[in-house]
């Protein structure tokens, strides 16, 4: 009954006028400027939503956290699609390696390499015995890093490297080994105030050898090569060196000079120089020992004479 009444009312002229919204041209003109920007924002949002994954600018939260950890602790030795460095390229590693294996080598690399794992042995052989330093990465941080590596995937091989900033001068192709020697020994200071290498390291071709806190670097270039030394001098990823050089990095020129000095040092024969220092030390020891023997022998004789005279005196008097 109600529906029929409503239908009948809507069919009359009065009902039609009641449900027809009057046309207002002024209101349409006021709404047009607002409607156009809203459409533009909508279209732009849709475009960004579709383009973000393709451009690689959108990562899930765990992967974003993993990217930050990777850049801070891993990027000095590893790349993701940029080729070999001190360590292997990690592009696609989550699809080629077991997850538990990856977590072990990330969180406790020292114990992992000592465990005798066959794949770990292959890595050591491939990368000239360079062991991954223990960076105290937790299991949670390792999960975040793996999430980033999985999200990053395998970048295209033709990806271009970022160009240096306009204010950054490129490093010279070949450094000066003599300048590198003065930087290593501390005769010349690093521009940013970093500690001289000789404070912790010894090397052939340097009088006095050097410090013993770190390893001897005489054959470093022969063992690691250009590809191994370059990222180390650029970022110093080792825990004992990061606090020293993080705020005082080497300039590209200083890195090139040190590499040239390391290359020249590796071409020397270290055994002859070490033998020379050994002979010099042995000669000094014998000299000091001889002088001490002569001095103490003379003093001993001076003490013994009066004692012998006293001991012999009463006997002679009685006789």
Mean pLDDT, the chain, integer: 74
From the number of C-beta atoms within 10 Å of its C-beta (0-12, 13-18, 19+), residue 176 rates as middle
Asked if 200 and 213 touch (Cβ cutoff 8 Å), the reply is: yes
pLDDT at position 149? 92
Question: CATH assignment of 61-152?
Answer: 1.10.760.10
Give the pLDDT of residue 250: 93
pLDDT of residue 126: 85
Cβ-Cβ contacts under 8 Å for 56 (sequence gap 6 or more):
152
- 295 vs 116, higher pLDDT: 116
Q: How far is CA 253 from the centre of its chain?
A: 19
Write down the pLDDT at residue 317.
47
Q: Is the pLDDT of residue 221 over 90?
A: no
- Residue 240 — very low, low, confident or very high, per pLDDT cuts 50/70/90? confident
Q: What is the pLDDT of residues 38-51, one digit of tens each?
A: 555 666 665 555 55
d(CA 45, CA 242): 42
pLDDT in the model for residue 168: 47
Neighbours of 236 (CB within 10 A): 20
Does the pLDDT value for residue 20 go beyond 70? no
pTM to 2 decimal places? 0.49
Mean pLDDT of 69-84: 84
- For residue 127, what pLDDT is reported? 81
pLDDT tier, 25 (very low <50, low <70, confident <90, very high otherwise): low
Q: For residue range 206-215, what is the model confidence (pLDDT) as tens digits?
A: 776 677 888 8
State the pLDDT confidence band at 307, using cuts at 50, 70 and 90. low
User: CA angle, corner 70, sides to 68 and 74, nearest 5?
Assistant: 145
Q: What is the mean pLDDT of residues 32-43?
A: 58
Yes or no: say if 217 and 265 are a contact pair by the CB < 8 Å rule: yes
Residue 108: what are its φ and ψ, rounded to 5°? -145, 70
The answer to whether residue 231 scores a pLDDT higher than 90 is no
**How far is Cα 274 from Cα 263, in angstroms, rounded to an integer?**
19
User: Per residue in 125-163, pLDDT tens?
Assistant: 888 777 888 888 999 999 999 999 998 875 444 444 454
pLDDT in tens, 77-93: 888 888 877 788 899 99
Distances (CA, A) of 152 to 70, 103, 104, 247, 289: 12, 18, 21, 29, 68
CB 231 within 8 A of CB 86: yes
């Amino acid at each position: 009954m109600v529906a029929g009444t409503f239908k009948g009312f809507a069919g009359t002229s009065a009902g039609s006028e009641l449900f027809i919204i009057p046309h207002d041209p002024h209101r349409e003109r006021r709404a047009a400027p607002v409607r156009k920007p809203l459409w533009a924002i909508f279209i732009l949002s849709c475009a960004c939503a579709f383009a973000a994954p393709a451009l690689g600018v959108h990562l899930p939260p765990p992967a974003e956290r993993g990217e930050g950890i990777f850049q801070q602790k891993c990027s000095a030795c590893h790349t993701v699609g940029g080729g070999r460095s001190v360590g292997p390229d990690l592009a696609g590693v989550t699809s080629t390696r077991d997850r538990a294996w990856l977590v072990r080598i990330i969180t406790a690399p020292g114990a992992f390499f000592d465990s005798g794992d066959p794949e770990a042995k292959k890595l050591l052989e491939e990368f000239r015995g360079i062991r991954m330093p223990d960076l105290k990465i937790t299991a949670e941080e390792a999960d975040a890093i793996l999430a980033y590596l999985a999200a990053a995937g395998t970048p295209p091989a033709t990806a271009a490297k970022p160009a240096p900033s306009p204010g950054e001068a490129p490093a010279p192709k070949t450094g000066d080994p003599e300048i590198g020697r003065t930087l290593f020994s501390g005769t010349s200071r690093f521009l940013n105030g970093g500690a001289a290498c000789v404070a912790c390291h010894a090397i052939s071709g340097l009088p006095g050898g050097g410090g013993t806190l770190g390893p001897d670097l005489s054959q470093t270039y022969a063992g690691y090569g250009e590809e191994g030394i370059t990222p180390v001098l650029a970022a110093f990823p080792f825990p004992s060196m990061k606090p020293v050089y993080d705020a005082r990095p080497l300039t590209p020129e200083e890195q090139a000079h040190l590499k040239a000095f390391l290359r020249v040092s590796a071409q020397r024969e270290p055994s002859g120089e070490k033998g020379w220092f050994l002979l010099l030390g042995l000669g000094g020891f014998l000299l000091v020992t001889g002088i001490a023997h002569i001095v103490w022998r003379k003093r001993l004789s001076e003490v013994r004479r009066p004692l012998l005279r006293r001991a012999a005196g009463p006997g002679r008097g009685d006789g």
